[in-house]
Amino acid sequence: MKLYITPGSPYARMARMVVIEKGLEKRVEIVVAQTRRADSPYYAINPSGRVPYLVRDDGVGLEESTVICAWLDHADGKPIFDPPAGDAAWEARRLEAIARSMLDGLAVWSRETARPENERSPTTVRHETERSRRMIDVWEKEIGHPLLGGALNMVQITLACALGLEARMPDFRWRPGHPKLVEWHGRIAARPSFAATAPPG
Ligand SMILES: N[C@@H](CCC(=O)N[C@@H](CS)C(=O)NCC(=O)O)C(=O)O
Q: Look at residue 13 in the predicted model and tell me its pLDDT.
A: 98
9 lines ligand 1 (CB under 6 A): yes
Closest residue by Cα to residue 3 from 58, 54, 73, 56: 54
Q: Look at residue 1 in the predicted model and tell me its pLDDT.
A: 98
* 8 A C-beta contact, residue 154 and residue 92: yes
Report the alpha-carbon distance of residue 92 to residue 50 in Å, rounded: 26
| pLDDT tens per residue across span 95-136 | 999 999 999 999 999 999 999 999 999 999 999 999 999 999
Ligand 1 pocket test, candidate residues 11, 62, 112, most atoms within 8 A of CB: 11
| pLDDT tens per residue across span 148-170 | 999 999 999 999 999 999 999 99
162 lines ligand 1 (CB under 6 A): no
| pLDDT tens per residue across span 55-97 | 999 999 999 999 999 999 999 999 999 999 998 999 999 999 9
* 8 A C-beta contact, residue 162 and residue 106: yes
The β-bridge relationship of strands 29-32 and 53-55 is unpaired
Confidence of residue 14 (pLDDT cuts 50, 70, 90): very high
Q: Look at residue 49 in the predicted model and tell me its pLDDT.
A: 98
Q: Give the closest residue (by CA) to ligand 1 atom 14.
A: 50
Q: Look at residue 163 in the predicted model and tell me its pLDDT.
A: 98
Q: Look at residue 201 in the predicted model and tell me its pLDDT.
A: 82
52 lines ligand 1 (CB under 6 A): yes
What helix, strand, coil percent values describe the chain, rounded to 5? 55, 5, 40
Instruction: Report the SS3 class of residue 2.
Output: strand
